[in-house]
């Protein structure tokens, strides 16, 4: 099982995210303003998959904690944070739409290799993500969808990590039951969220959600785990 954001894929830099949304809406802005307001968006944690807020505004606390349970909550939480950044342009919906596009995401350098090798070995793979939208098109456009057997997305089940029920959905989708659960591995970047798989007896492997150019091969150790070897199920 793999997490999505910060594990298999990384969101684009915040300045490029903002510039893309501005261009889509027909706004003109110079590099200085883009850098300035991208910094504000990062400060408040408004970019999904980007820097997390230290603490959301008090009036958004409940919405923030449950943002991945439904598509509506996810959009409302992130557009509210972008509105708190003081942007001089009304591009909050455009920013949200931008982050859902394949152009906004880049796979880590070893993502395709690891997923392909596991697929070749007959090792079933699920993507388990706290998210408010369908990420399957991201995998299709980047050419790795055929290497994933199941997508288990929090908003589709109204359950979010670290709740063990979401991992149980993934294990069931992969046909992993009983003692075989001990051979399952959850690969993610969040001890708090992805570590929830340990409650079911799964092993947990954590990677650092660095920019793609700074993390070329952190996923490769998965191929040497017992669950990642040829013929393992």
Looking up residue 145, the CATH number of its domain turns out to be 3.40.50.1000
Contacts of 7 (CB under 8 A, 6+ apart): 108, 187, 188, 189, 194, 207, 209, 219
For residue 226, pLDDT beyond 90: no
Q: Is residue 2 part of a domain?
A: no
> How far is residue 21's CA from residue 135's CA, in Å, rounded to a whole number?
19
The last residue of one of the domains, among 104, 133, 154, is 104
pLDDT of 109 > 50? The answer is: yes
Out of 84, 104, 124, a domain closes at 104
Q: What percent of the chain has pLDDT over 90?
A: 94
- Structural domain contains residue 1: no
**Could you tell me if residue 61 is inside a domain?**
yes
Count the domains in the chain. Answer: 2
- Same domain for 130 and 78, yes or no, is no
* 182: Cβ contacts below 8 Å, ≥ 6 apart: 201, 202, 203
Give the global pTM: 0.94
Is 4 a domain residue?
Answer: no
When pLDDT is cut at 50, 70 and 90, the band that residue 11 belongs to is: very high
3-state DSSP assignment of residue 89: coil
Mean pLDDT taken over the chain:
95
Note whether 99 and 133 are same-domain residues.
no
**Please, are residues 9 and 107 in contact by the beta-carbon 8 Å criterion?**
yes
Q: Are residues 121 and 223 in the same domain?
A: yes
Kindly report the number of other CB atoms within 10 A of residue 56's CB atom.
Answer: 20
Domain for residue 6, yes or no?
Answer: no
Lookup: tokens for 175: 């046909």
Report angle CA 108, 122, 146 to the nearest 5 degrees: 50
Can you read off the two tokens belonging to residue 229?
Answer: 């070897």
Q: Would 90 be classed as within a structural domain? A: yes
DSSP annotation of 134:
-
CA distances from 185 to 67, 71, 130, 165, 167 (A): 26, 27, 17, 16, 11
pLDDT at 227: 56
Question: Given this model, what pLDDT does residue 228 score?
Answer: 58
State the helix-helix crossing angle for 31-44 and 71-83, rounded to 10 degrees: 120
Q: Is 213 exposed, middle or buried (0-12, 13-18, 19+ CB in 10 A)?
A: exposed
Q: Are residues 120 and 25 in the same domain?
A: no
Bond from prior residue into 162 cis (ω within 30 degrees of 0): yes
Q: Examine residue 54 and state whether it is found in any structural domain, yes or no.
A: yes
Q: Are residues 89 and 136 in the same domain?
A: no
How far, in Å, CA of 121 to CA of 31, rounded? 47
How many other β-carbons are positioned within 10 Å of the β-carbon of residue 103?
Answer: 12
Domain hosting 116: range is 106-228
Q: Give domain status of residue 5, yes or no.
A: no
Give the pLDDT confidence score for residue 55 in this predicted structure: 85
83 shares its domain with 172: no
Are residue 177 and residue 216 in the same domain, yes or no? Answer: yes
Q: Answer yes or no: do 83 and 97 share one domain.
A: yes
Residues 22 and 58 in one domain: yes
pLDDT in tens, 48-90: 999 998 888 999 999 999 999 999 999 999 999 999 999 999 9
Single residue among 52, 71, 104 that ends a domain in this structure: 104
Same domain, 203 and 165: yes
The mean pLDDT of 117-141, rounded to a whole number, is: 98
**Residue 27: per-residue pLDDT:** 97
Q: Are residues 147 and 178 in the same domain?
A: yes
Residues 100 and 110 in one domain: no
pLDDT tier for residue 231 given thresholds of 50, 70 and 90: very low
């Amino acid at each position: 099982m793999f997490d999505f954001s910060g594990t298999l894929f990384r969101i684009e830099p915040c300045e490029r995210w903002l510039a893309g949304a501005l261009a889509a809406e027909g706004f003109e802005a110079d590099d200085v303003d883009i850098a300035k307001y991208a910094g504000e968006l990062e400060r408040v944690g408004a970019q999904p998959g980007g820097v997390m807020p230290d603490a959301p505004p008090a009036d958004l606390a409940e919405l923030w904690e449950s943002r991945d349970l439904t598509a509506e909550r996810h959009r409302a939480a992130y557009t509210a944070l972008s509105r708190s950044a003081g942007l001089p342009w009304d591009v909050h919906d455009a920013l949200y739409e931008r982050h859902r596009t394949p152009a906004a995401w880049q796979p880590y350098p070893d993502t395709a290799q690891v997923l392909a090798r596991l697929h070749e070995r007959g090792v079933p793979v699920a993507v388990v993500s706290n998210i408010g939208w369908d990420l399957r098109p991201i995998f299709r456009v980047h050419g790795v969808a055929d290497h994933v057997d199941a997508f288990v997305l929090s908003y589709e089940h109204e359950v979010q990590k670290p709740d063990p029920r979401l991992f149980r959905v993934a294990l069931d989708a992969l046909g992993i039951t009983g003692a075989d659960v001990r051979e399952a591995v959850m690969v993610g970047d969040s001890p708090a969220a992805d570590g929830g798989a340990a409650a079911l007896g799964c092993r947990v492997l954590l990677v650092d959600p660095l920019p793609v150019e700074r993390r070329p091969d952190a996923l490769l150790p998965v191929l040497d785990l017992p669950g990642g070897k040829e013929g393992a199920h």
